Structure 1
Amino acid sequence: MRHRENAAPQEPAAPPPPVPVVTATVKQEDVPIILKGIGTVQALNRAAIRSQVTGYLESVAFTEGQSVRRGDVLARIDPRIYQARLGTAQAQLGRDQALLTNRQTNLQRNEPLLQRGYATEQSVTGEKAQIAQSENAVKGDQAAIDYARTELDFATLRAPFDGVTGIRLIDIGNVVQPSDPGGVVVLTQVQPISVIFTLPTDEIPQVQAALGRGPVPTTVYDQAGTRKLDTGSLLLIDNEAQPKSGTVRLKANFPNAERQLWPGAFANVEITTSIVKGALTIPTDAVQQNDKGPFVFVVGDDHTVSIRPVQVGQRVRGVALIAEGVKAGETVVVQGQYNLVPGKAVVAASPDQVSDTTTASAGMLP
Structure 2
Amino acid sequence: MKPMKRIILLLSFFLAIAVAAAGYWFAEGMSLRPADAQDAATRQHRPETAIPVVLAQAKRMTLPVSFSTIGTIQPVASIAVTAQVSGTVSRVAVADGAQVKQGDVLIELDARLIDTQIAQAEATVAKDEANIAKAQRDLGRINHLLASKVETLENAADAQTTLDLAKATLASDQAGLNNLRIQREYYTIHAPVTGRIGTVPVKPGSTIVDGAQASPIVTINVFEPIYVAVGIPQRMVADLAQDKAQGVAKISLTVPGRNDKLEGPVTAIDNAANTATGLVTAYASILNAPEVLWPGEILNVDVIFRDEPDALAVPNQAIQTNPQGSFVYAVDTSQHAHVKPVVIDRTLNGMTVIASGLNEGDNVVTDGQLLLSNGALVSTKQAMGE
Relative to the length of structure 2, the TM-score reads 0.77
| Mapped pair 1:198 → 2:231 | yes
- Counterpart code for 1:206: D
Alignment counterpart, residue 88 of structure 2, candidates 24, 41, 56: 56
Following TM superposition, by how much is the alpha carbon of 1:199 offset from its aligned partner in structure 2, in angstroms?
Answer: 0.7
Which secondary structure state, in structure 2, belongs to the residue aligned with residue 191 of structure 1?
A: coil
Distance 2:248 2:272 in 1: 21
Mapped contact 1:71–1:160 kept (Cα < 8 A): yes
Pick closer, same or farther for the CA change 1:5–1:344 going to 2, 3 Å.
closer
Pick closer, same or farther for the CA change 1:121–1:201 going to 2, 3 Å.
farther
Task: For 1:119-130, list aligned pairs within 5 A.
Answer: 119-130=151-162
Distance 1:53 1:15 in 2: 96
Alignment counterpart, residue 159 of structure 1, candidates 182, 187, 191: 191
More strand by share: 1
| Mapped pair 1:89 → 2:121 | yes
- Counterpart code for 2:338: S
Stretches of structure 1 lacking an aligned partner (at least 5 in a row)? 353-366
Distance 1:335 1:258 in 2: 42
Q: In structure 2, what is the equivalent of residue 110 of structure 1?
A: 142
Q: In structure 2, what is the equivalent of residue 260 of structure 1?
A: 292
Q: In structure 1, what is the equivalent of residue 219 of structure 2?
A: 186
Q: In structure 2, what is the equivalent of residue 345 of structure 1?
A: 377
Q: Which shifted more, 57-66 or 303-312?
A: 303-312
Distance 1:55 1:318 in 2: 61
Mapped contact 1:229–1:260 kept (Cα < 8 A): no
Q: In structure 2, what is the equivalent of residue 364 of structure 1?
A: none
Following TM superposition, by how much is the alpha carbon of 1:249 offset from its aligned partner in structure 2, in angstroms?
Answer: 1.5
Deviations 1:224-254 (A, max 9, x none): 9x96662222111222333553322111111
More helix by share: 2
Following TM superposition, by how much is the alpha carbon of 1:323 offset from its aligned partner in structure 2, in angstroms?
Answer: 4.1
Q: In structure 2, what is the equivalent of residue 362 of structure 1?
A: none
Mapped contact 2:83–2:214 kept (Cα < 8 A): no
Alignment counterpart, residue 30 of structure 1, candidates 47, 50, 62: 62
Pick closer, same or farther for the CA change 1:214–1:183 going to 2, 3 Å.
closer
Distance 2:307 2:54 in 1: 28
Q: In structure 1, what is the equivalent of residue 332 of structure 2?
A: 300
Distance 2:371 2:151 in 1: 124
- Counterpart code for 1:220: L
Pick closer, same or farther for the CA change 1:244–1:177 going to 2, 3 Å.
closer
Alignment counterpart, residue 12 of structure 1, candidates 22, 43, 50: 43
Mapped contact 2:248–2:306 kept (Cα < 8 A): no
Which protein is bigger by CA-based radius of gyration? 2
Q: In structure 1, what is the equivalent of residue 304 of structure 2?
A: 272
Following TM superposition, by how much is the alpha carbon of 1:343 offset from its aligned partner in structure 2, in angstroms?
Answer: 0.5
Mapped contact 2:255–2:262 kept (Cα < 8 A): no
Q: Which shifted more, 341-350 or 84-93?
A: 341-350
> Taking every aligned residue pair, what percent have the same amino acid on both sides?
26
Give me the CA root mean square deviation.
3.5
Following TM superposition, by how much is the alpha carbon of 1:108 offset from its aligned partner in structure 2, in angstroms?
Answer: 3.4
Pick closer, same or farther for the CA change 1:197–1:111 going to 2, 3 Å.
farther
- Counterpart code for 2:79: A
Pick closer, same or farther for the CA change 1:142–1:298 going to 2, 3 Å.
same
Mapped contact 1:170–1:183 kept (Cα < 8 A): no
Following TM superposition, by how much is the alpha carbon of 1:134 offset from its aligned partner in structure 2, in angstroms?
Answer: 2.7
Q: In structure 2, what is the equivalent of residue 211 of structure 1?
A: 244
Distance 2:327 2:261 in 1: 36
- Counterpart code for 2:118: L
Which secondary structure state, in structure 2, belongs to the residue aligned with residue 242 of structure 1?
A: coil
- Counterpart code for 1:50: T
Which secondary structure state, in structure 1, belongs to the residue aligned with residue 293 of structure 2?
A: coil
The count of aligned residue pairs is 350
Which secondary structure state, in structure 2, belongs to the residue aligned with residue 94 of structure 1?
A: helix
Mapped contact 1:229–1:261 kept (Cα < 8 A): no
Mapped contact 2:250–2:284 kept (Cα < 8 A): no
Deviations 1:109-161 (A, max 9, x none): 33455566554454444444443333332222222222221222222222222
Q: In structure 1, what is the equivalent of residue 262 of structure 2?
A: 230
Following TM superposition, by how much is the alpha carbon of 1:334 offset from its aligned partner in structure 2, in angstroms?
Answer: 3.8
Relative to the length of structure 1, the TM-score reads 0.80
Following TM superposition, by how much is the alpha carbon of 1:303 offset from its aligned partner in structure 2, in angstroms?
Answer: 3.0
Q: Which shifted more, 174-183 or 198-207?
A: 174-183
